[in-house]
């Protein structure tokens, strides 16, 4: 459990922020706002047309500016409102303005047609969190704490998001989330995903989109939904960009840097993004395992303290071109690459005791593991708009991964007698993965009716090896019993259609997606075991439904439902062993099958201030980490299995409020009741748990460019795996920023996990044994960062989301 002296200040801060919502609650709506339309010299434009639009972009009201360039609207409720602004001789723009109780006037700038972009959408200053009917948006740029942070740290502070000790990400208490970046899943899962996201600077991110029930055009993967990470793109005329540098200090150093360059002239747009980080961290783990006899008396015990340091360097580059062939057609290409290298040096002990805690023996282990990741991808895309009603987009992707890992262990028995010749083992673990993917999407939109249909195909080829060796009298010899060569090929084909209709107060949307999967796997012989192969074909339909009713200007109700799938990560089908330590191994499972989930949710949105929802989720063939015990050797092997079923009932309440003109606060509470039913090694498990997660954040805007942010989260006792329960954990973070250099520069200081409470600990229960564990990472970090932007900033036009929508997520380098 968390220490009492940490819990108290954490809860006091949470209560302070939460109570602030009750202070100053006064009716501010409906209210009148003023919009001024000006040119680049800040002179008002008379006769400009300002259109207030519905959420589906249809016109609600139209006003014309007066001689001073101003006009006004009556707004019924707090929230983000879409406007279209146009004037003769200027480029029309779409702008989203966030209307709060304390906002009264806005200014919008138009640019002459010969000196700016077409179809530019600008965005006024947004709050950190936006609660929309179909998703939650985290505006990363609005957070002081994001500067100098990694994407992983931003995710940890996002409402409803939780990252467990294995790097698995859950959303509102449910695991198996599809993580996407600009519409494409990121490269890896599990701990590799955790390490990758921790190496990418959050300064490159514009926003996070949290979607629990995505529509049919998205891949059906991810039973808990999708988290889409949207990167920044600056498409301003001429040459412009930004540079970000940061240095953080925990126990060890953290360095995160990023450079963005953009060039736009006439029909040509070019961009380049480069990021580099060099971080050092540690993992301090303690585990105490007990073995029981048939009468449930303690037979043996083992303590396993483990400490490792990790040096991680990562380079990422992405460059692209977009060319406007005509007013209706855009073509483009994006090339990206990544090179990462990580070295882990660790020392652990296995201290064995009898049932009465009398020490029997001690085995010390020194380890050195390395991991190299190289990735390259090419995306080609085309967008063609036949007319104002018809649009076609085509994407093609080629993605390659070259992964190489090494392991080295040396084990010495130090008690009762020191070993003269210690055991030594090493392994080389290369892996190559190639993905080819293509998709086409067609959209028809007219008279409040939107019809979408599309197709997608992908081909995945993987080649994985693990070559183990043992040292015998200073001669390295093949360990064929552990070595393995695993080949895996998979094809996925999908087609979908959906239709959306706005009629009166009702917005109706229904969709259906069909996916067919065909894979072949081959485990090659190694001199000990013979070749073996297995294949599988399966297909399924994935319906989705969305119904929204706008009861009045203040209240809307939404019902969402859908079916989703999670396929096993490629490497989790590979049965080779991966050594954690002398008594703990990890293994793949070739018998894994996909898990399927039904999601249903009813939500109510009040004034864009209060969002409440109730959900029910049912998963069969549920994925769970499974621990198995060899009673003779005492070795624990953990793998993944389809253990049974999972039921989840969730309740969510979100609030956002301007407490004062200079103080904006957001709070979210998620409650989950979960029941998991499964069997492992002839033992029945039926755990139930009540889980609560709190996320609170306050932003303070002061004079002369000063701002501050205070945020925190708390997660109660939780459980996603059948045999593992996690104790509560949480953190509080603080940030301060100052605009400098005529607002082109920004200096930020942040202090993450102030009270050092983001510790993970819990218990694992398996056949005739259990294990208590606690893990501490280098989470308390102070960071100083500097950002400089040059050129005027606009939100970019839509760019390609790519076609590789599910496959990258399932890559896992073990």
Say how far apart CA 499 and CA 513 lie, in whole Å: 12
Say how far apart CA 81 and CA 86 lie, in whole Å: 17
Residue segments in the chain with a per-residue pLDDT below the cut of 70: 1-29, 40-41, 55-58, 102, 112-127, 131-134, 148, 165-167, 186-192, 195, 199, 234-236, 418-420, 527-530, 581-582, 608, 631, 792-814
At CA 630, angle to CA 626 and CA 635, rounded to 5? 80
Nearest to 564 by CA among 158, 171, 207: 171
Cα-Cα-Cα-Cα dihedral sign, residues 634, 638, 644, 650: positive
Determine the pLDDT at residue 664: 85
Determine the pLDDT at residue 5: 52
Say how far apart CA 608 and CA 604 lie, in whole Å: 10
> Domain extents for the chain?
31-125, 131-810
Residue 659: how many other CB atoms lie within 10 Å: 18
Does pTM surpass 0.85?
A: no
CB under 8 A, 24+ apart: contacts of 123-128: 123/95, 123/96, 123/795, 124/95, 124/96, 124/97, 124/98, 125/98, 126/80, 126/96, 126/98, 127/98, 127/100, 127/656, 127/664, 127/666, 127/699, 128/664, 128/666, 128/697, 128/699, 128/709
Name the helix (H) or strand (E) containing 435.
strand 423-446
* Span 426-461, pLDDT tens digits: 999 998 989 999 999 999 988 888 899 999 999 999
Same fold, 31-125 and 131-810: no
Residue with token string 């459980």: 719
Say how far apart CA 783 and CA 256 lie, in whole Å: 10
- Whether residue 32 contacts residue 103, with contact meaning beta carbons closer than 8 Å, is answered with no
Mean pLDDT, the chain, whole residue set: 83
- 20: which 2 tokens? 């602030």
Determine the pLDDT at residue 562: 94
Nearest to 101 by CA among 75, 82, 81, 122: 75
* Strand boundaries in 753-792, DSSP class E: 760-766, 769-777, 781-790
- Whether residue 55 contacts residue 82, with contact meaning beta carbons closer than 8 Å, is answered with yes
Tell me the CATH number of domain 31-125, given options 2.60.40.1120, 3.30.420.10, 3.40.630.30, 3.90.1150.10.
2.60.40.1120
Cα-Cα-Cα-Cα dihedral sign, residues 793, 795, 800, 801: positive
Say how far apart CA 590 and CA 575 lie, in whole Å: 6
SS3 category, 7: helix
Say how far apart CA 583 and CA 745 lie, in whole Å: 53
Q: What share of the chain is helix, strand, coil (3-state, %, to 5)?
A: 5, 65, 30
Helices within 438-552 (DSSP H only): none
DSSP letters, 93-104, are EEEEEEE-TT--
Residue 746: how many other CB atoms lie within 10 Å: 21
DSSP letters, 616-636, are EEEEEEEEEEEEEE-TTT--E
- Whether residue 487 contacts residue 459, with contact meaning beta carbons closer than 8 Å, is answered with no
Say how far apart CA 133 and CA 49 lie, in whole Å: 28
- Cis upstream peptide for 416 (omega within 30°): yes
Beta-sheet strand order (sheet of 136-138): 129-131, 136-138, 205-211, 226-231, 178-181, 184-185
Tell me the CATH number of domain 131-810, given options 3.30.1360.10, 2.60.40.10, 2.40.170.20, 3.40.50.300.
2.40.170.20
Compute φ and ψ for 715, nearest 5 degrees.
-125, 125
Radius of gyration, alpha carbons of the chain: 28
Name the helix (H) or strand (E) containing 188.
none
Determine the pLDDT at residue 437: 92
- Whether residue 531 contacts residue 523, with contact meaning beta carbons closer than 8 Å, is answered with yes
């Amino acid at each position: 459990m968390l220490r009492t002296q940490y819990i108290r200040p954490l809860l006091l801060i949470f209560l302070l922020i939460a109570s602030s919502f009750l202070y100053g609650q006064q009716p501010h709506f409906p209210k009148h706002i003023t919009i001024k339309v000006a040119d680049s010299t800040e002179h008002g434009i008379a006769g400009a047309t300002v259109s207030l639009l519905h959420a589906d972009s249809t016109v609600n009201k139209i006003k014309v500016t007066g001689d001073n360039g101003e006009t006004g609207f009556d707004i019924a409720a707090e929230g983000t409102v879409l406007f279209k602004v146009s004037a003769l001789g200027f480029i029309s723009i779409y702008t989203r303005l966030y209307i709060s109780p304390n906002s009264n006037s806005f200014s919008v700038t138009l640019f002459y047609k010969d000196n700016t972009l077409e179809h530019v959408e600008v965005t006024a200053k947004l709050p950190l969190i936006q609660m929309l009917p179909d998703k939650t948006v985290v505006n990363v740029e609005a957070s002081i704490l994001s500067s100098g942070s990694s994407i992983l740290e931003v995710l940890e502070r996002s409402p409803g998001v939780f990252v467990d000790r294995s790097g698995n990400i859950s959303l509102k208490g449910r695991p198996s989330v599809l993580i996407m970046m600009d519409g494409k899943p990121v490269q890896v899962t599990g701990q590799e995903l955790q390490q990758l996201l921790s190496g990418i600077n959050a300064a490159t991110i514009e926003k996070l989109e949290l979607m629990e029930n995505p529509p049919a055009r998205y891949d059906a993967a991810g039973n808990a939904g999708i988290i889409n990470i949207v990167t920044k793109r600056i498409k301003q005329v001429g040459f412009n960009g930004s540079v970000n540098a940061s240095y953080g200090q925990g126990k060890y150093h953290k360095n995160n840097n990023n450079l963005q360059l953009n060039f736009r002239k006439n029909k040509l747009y070019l961009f380049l993004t480069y990021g580099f980080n060099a971080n050092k961290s540690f993992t301090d783990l303690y585990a105490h395992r007990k073995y029981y006899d048939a009468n449930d008396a303690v037979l043996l015990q083992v303590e396993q303290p483990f400490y490792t340091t990790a040096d991680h360097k990562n380079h990422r580059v992405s460059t692209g071109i977009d060319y406007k062939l005509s007013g209706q057609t855009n073509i483009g290409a994006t090339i990206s690459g990544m090179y990462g290298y990580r070295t882990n040096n660790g020392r652990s002990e296995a201290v064995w005791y009898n049932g009465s805690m009398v020490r029997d023996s001690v085995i010390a282990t020194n380890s050195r593991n390395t991991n190299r990741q190289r990735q390259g991808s090419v995306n080609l895309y085309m967008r063609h708009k036949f007319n104002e009603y018809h649009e076609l987009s085509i994407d093609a992707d080629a993605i390659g991964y070259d992964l190489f890992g090494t392991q080295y262990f040396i084990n010495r028995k130090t008690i009762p007698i020191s070993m003269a010749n210690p055991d030594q083992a090493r392994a080389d673990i290369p892996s190559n993965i190639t993905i080819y993917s293509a998709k086409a999407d067609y959209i028809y939109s007219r008279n409040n009716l939107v019809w979408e249909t599309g197709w997608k195909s992908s081909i995945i080829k993987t080649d994985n090896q693990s070559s183990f060796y043992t040292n015998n009298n200073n001669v390295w010899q093949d360990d064929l019993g552990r070595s393995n060569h695993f080949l895996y090929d998979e094809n996925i084909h999908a087609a979908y259609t959906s239709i959306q209709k706005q009629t009166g107060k009702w917005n109706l949307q229904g969709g259906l997606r069909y996916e067919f999967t065909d894979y072949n796997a081959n485990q090659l012989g190694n001199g000990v075991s013979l070749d073996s192969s297995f294949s599988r074909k399966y297909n399924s339909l994935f319906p989705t439904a969305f119904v929204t009713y706008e009861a009045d200007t203040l209240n809307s109700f939404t019902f969402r439902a859908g079916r989703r799938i999670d396929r096993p990560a490629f490497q989790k089908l590979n049965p080779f062993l991966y050594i954690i330590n002398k008594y703990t191994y990890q293994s793949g499972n070739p018998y894994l099958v996909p898990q399927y989930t039904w999601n249903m949710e009813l939500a109510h949105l009040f004034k864009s201030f209060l969002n409440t929802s109730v959900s029910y989720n049912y998963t069969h063939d549920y994925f769970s980490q499974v621990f198995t015990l060899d009673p003779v050797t005492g070795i624990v092997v953990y793998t993944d299995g389809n253990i049974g079923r999972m039921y989840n009932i969730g309740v969510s309440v979100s609030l956002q409020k301007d407490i004062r003109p200079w103080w904006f606060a957001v709070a979210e509470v998620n409650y989950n009741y979960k029941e998991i039913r499964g069997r492992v090694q002839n033992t029945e498990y039926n755990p139930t748990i009540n889980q609560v997660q709190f996320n609170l954040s306050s932003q303070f805007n002061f004079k002369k460019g000063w701002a501050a942010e205070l945020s925190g989260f708390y997660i109660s006792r939780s459980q996603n795996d059948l045999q593992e329960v996690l104790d509560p954990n949480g953190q509080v973070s603080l940030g301060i920023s100052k605009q400098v250099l005529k607002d082109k520069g920004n200096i930020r200081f942040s202090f993450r996990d102030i009270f050092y409470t983001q510790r993970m600990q819990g218990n694992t229960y398996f056949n005739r044994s259990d294990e208590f564990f606690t893990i501490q990472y280098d989470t308390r970090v102070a960071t100083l960062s500097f950002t400089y932007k040059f050129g005027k900033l606009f939100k970019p036009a839509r760019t390609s989301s790519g076609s590789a929508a599910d496959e990258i997520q399932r890559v896992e380098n073990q």
